[in-house]
Structure 1
Amino acid sequence: MTSQTKYRQITLKHLLIANKKMIGIQFYPDKVLQAMVKSLPGIKWSTRYQMAILPNNSQHLTRIFNTFKDVCGINCHYFFFNRPVSHSSTPLSVDQFRKRPVKGNWRHCPDDFYQKLEIRKYALNTARSYIHLFERFINYYREETDLINIHEFKIKAYLQTLVQAGKSDSYINQSINAIKFYYEVVKEMPNRFYAIERPIKKESLPKVLSRGEVLQMIATTPNLKHRCIISLLYSAGLRRGELLDLKIEDIESQRGMIKVTNGKGGKDRYTLLSQNTLQDLRAYYRTYQPNTYLFEGSAGGKYSGTSIAKIVTRAAKKAKIRWRVTPHVLRHSFATHLLEAGTDIRYIQLLLGHNSTKTTEIYTHVANSSFKQIINPLDLDKNTMDISTTSV
């Protein structure tokens, strides 16, 4: 591709028009591209979608690639869905859901739903959520034997019932994601739900503990294993799933680092290993002698996520913290305390595994270092306050 054409690009999308699968060609107005698009046999224009359209078949797809491959970029991100969302070498299996016995007339997800989750290596928690939420949806419309016939207005009506039932914005968004996953990814159909509106995203601030409260939680936890869990969640800024996935060799004590393998988004990273926590970890290892994972259940294997949540909640109560503390609150506290101590936000981004500092910047809204130089007007010296005593 020459320098003159490197800024040209077409984007391919799936569309469903009059129940027929179509290829949508989206592009920025350009005389060369317009002429080439018009040259395609059978090309039409969709006013609704503002795209050029062709019937979706292998002949038209091949013609598009042959026509444009040497002229401009071809963005297939929305068209080919089989690329993995995770680069983990551990395959996802959803056989536990696929092989469930049918209870009554409850309808399970179609097999191609499970298959696509496995092909794209979705995280197990995401897969579990999608299966649960999509089954709720298809059982709401149990009379529809062909899922393709469930149109946009029915999806809107279903989402309205979720709102009326008081479901959270997160629950509704995840429901939309599960529904769109089936139609757009599994069935490789269009982005057909343009008019489906999501709840307005609330910009809520993360809940954060003071450093003293975290230390009190650790100090009032006598169980060595539980104390190590709380200390690691905080001192390494780990997500709960990342803690559960830690293996013995991930604790690199000589380097003072912890390797996080296959974190959120399938990314590996390094984070900090506290020397104080390391002392407890060595005592824990001698006492419990785990085999593979750093924290294992009584019968071996990976520790339970529910148990982690209970450990944190119990420790918070013992520390007399009056609001609900979750494992993720400890991660938020880690990031906030680093920021308050003057750590560059770019380093905090790397330690947390964020894709961008924009995600990490949320902690600037809760870090007290931003406000330390501001004197509250009630605390100003009386001699410096300009108070008028003139009567009106």
Structure 2
Amino acid sequence: MKWKATLVKYRDADRIAVEFEKDPELIRRIKLIHDARWNPAKKYWHIPDTSENRARFRLVQKEDTEPSAEGQEQLRQFIRWLSAKRYSSNTIKTYSESLRLFLIYFRMKAVSEITNADVMDFNHDYILKNRFSASYQNQFTSAIKLYFRTIRNTNIEVDKIERPKKNKMLPNVLSKEEVKLILEAHANLKHKTMLSLIYSCGLRCSELLQLRPGDIDSKRNIVFIKEAKGKKDRITSLSPKILVLLRTYYALYKPKTYLFEGKERGSMYSAKSLQSVLKQALEKARIKKPVTLHWLRHSYATHLLESGTDLRYIQELLGHNSSRTTEIYTHVSTKNLQQIKSPFDDL
């Protein structure tokens, strides 16, 4: 996500101007910042000039955007520990950035002196004050709890660090008609095949990009997904229809290393480019919903459930650890709801 932040004056008040290309998610996130305003004349958002907002957009002095010397060393040790434990690169990046911001907040305090009360203050004065989401707070909590379990000299009681109450959000699901419009929008065979494979197998974006030609077993009609979320391998079914599409694609593109490669032969196709492929499909299909690639995975699971597939099989196909995660799709399936007659119809 590209943005540009600069210091500006607005009605004699110090503000931070934030410019970025129109993006529904970025607009939603900046609206969560207290007193965020849109300047229609200059085409940028502006927010209060506070230390928290400067840190958010990297506008503070260097000494204010880095942990103390002790904190920096602790951060390096934490990253080494995560790497030794074979955490994924995305998890290492997410956890280390969360810990970095936490240690910046307490840069004037020795790590050994940080207490559970300090963690509560951080949640109240940084997370809640800036109106960050519960999921963002939970991300911080995971990083902080894991970090304090790796060090000895601490006043923190890890088990007493509370997680935020989870929002009970339902997954976004497309109708089969909408999915068909999206998958048929592209004339480009590669783009069509990528989106089709995500939906037909219920793949995550990262899982699709990491696929190699050898992961497609056409004789057994399965896709072998290696080291997916949680470092787990799994297999998912391969429909005859998608197999025909894959064979046509393979004959034309002849991928070398990855099933879907970038501009340079042998390189992995980028997640950003894949998101652009979906965006273009939505424009061509004239679908106005803020669809993401993960919506295709949600739609796959819901459509399986509506067609009568057992929830236990859907759990295996999606690679969920808990059946409770998969059960959420029962709340968005419309198969049984459509059979319920509203009393309004009898009036």
Q: Calculate the TM-score normalised by the size of structure 2.
A: 0.75
Name 2:148's counterpart in structure 1. Answer: 183
In 2, the alpha carbon distance for the partners of 1:362 and 1:135 equals 34
> In the alignment, which of 301, 307, 317 is matched to residue 283 of structure 2?
317
Name 1:274's counterpart in structure 2. Answer: 239
Aligned: 1:204 with 2:169? yes
> In the alignment, which of 310, 316, 329 is matched to residue 350 of structure 1?
316
Aligned: 1:262 with 2:207? no
1:1-392 to 2 correspondences below 5 Å: 104-105=62-63, 106-107=66-67, 108=72, 110-144=75-109, 146-160=110-124, 161-187=126-152, 192-299=157-264, 300-380=266-346
Residue 111 of structure 1: how far off its partner (Å): 2.4
Q: Deviations over 1:79-110 (max 9, x none)?
A: xxxxxxxxxxxxxxxxxxxxxxxx94323453
Q: Calculate the TM-score normalised by the size of structure 1.
A: 0.67
Q: Return the letter of the residue paired with 2:337.
A: F
Residue 252 of structure 1: how far off its partner (Å): 0.8
Q: Deviations over 1:280-327 (max 9, x none)?
A: 222222222211111111123222122222222332232222221111
1:142 partner SS = coil
Q: Would you tell me which structure has more helix in proportion to its own residues?
A: 2
Q: Mark the structure with the bigger radius of gyration.
A: 1
In 2, the alpha carbon distance for the partners of 1:364 and 1:218 equals 25
Q: Return the letter of the residue paired with 2:313.
A: Y
Q: Return the letter of the residue paired with 1:158.
A: F
Residue 187 of structure 1: how far off its partner (Å): 4.3
Change (3 A) 1:320 1:127: same
In 1, the alpha carbon distance for the partners of 2:122 and 2:232 equals 35
In 2, the alpha carbon distance for the partners of 1:248 and 1:190 equals 51
Residue 184 of structure 1: how far off its partner (Å): 1.0
Gaps of 5+ in 1: 1-102, 386-392
Query: Which sits farther off after the overlay, 305-314 or 289-298?
Result: 305-314
Change (3 A) 1:376 1:200: same
Q: Deviations over 1:325-357 (max 9, x none)?
A: 111110100000011111111111111111232
Residue 142 of structure 1: how far off its partner (Å): 1.8
Query: Which sits farther off after the overlay, 191-200 or 205-214?
Result: 191-200
1:216 partner SS = helix
User: Are the equivalent residues in 2 in contact too, given 1:184–1:190 (CA < 8 A)?
Assistant: no
Give me the identity figure in percent: 42
User: Are the equivalent residues in 2 in contact too, given 1:183–1:190 (CA < 8 A)?
Assistant: no
Q: Return the letter of the residue paired with 2:333.
A: A
Name 2:51's counterpart in structure 1. Answer: none
User: Are the equivalent residues in 2 in contact too, given 1:206–1:363 (CA < 8 A)?
Assistant: yes
Query: Which sits farther off after the overlay, 249-258 or 371-380?
Result: 371-380
1:129 partner SS = helix
Residue 359 of structure 1: how far off its partner (Å): 1.6
In 2, the alpha carbon distance for the partners of 1:189 and 1:260 equals 40
Change (3 A) 1:126 1:187: farther
Change (3 A) 1:249 1:190: farther
User: Are the equivalent residues in 2 in contact too, given 1:113–1:186 (CA < 8 A)?
Assistant: no
* Number of aligned residue pairs: 278
Change (3 A) 1:190 1:329: farther
User: Are the equivalent residues in 2 in contact too, given 1:345–1:361 (CA < 8 A)?
Assistant: yes
1:255 partner SS = coil
Change (3 A) 1:293 1:183: same
In 1, the alpha carbon distance for the partners of 2:104 and 2:259 equals 41
User: Are the equivalent residues in 1 in contact too, given 2:145–2:161 (CA < 8 A)?
Assistant: no
Change (3 A) 1:369 1:113: same
In 2, the alpha carbon distance for the partners of 1:286 and 1:186 equals 54
Change (3 A) 1:187 1:329: farther
User: Are the equivalent residues in 2 in contact too, given 1:290–1:296 (CA < 8 A)?
Assistant: yes
2:301 partner SS = helix
In 2, the alpha carbon distance for the partners of 1:373 and 1:230 equals 32
User: Are the equivalent residues in 2 in contact too, given 1:313–1:324 (CA < 8 A)?
Assistant: no
1:261 partner SS = strand
Name 1:34's counterpart in structure 2. Answer: none
In 1, the alpha carbon distance for the partners of 2:249 and 2:150 equals 45
Q: Return the letter of the residue paired with 2:221.
A: G
In 2, the alpha carbon distance for the partners of 1:148 and 1:190 equals 6
Q: Return the letter of the residue paired with 1:118.
A: S
Residue 378 of structure 1: how far off its partner (Å): 3.0
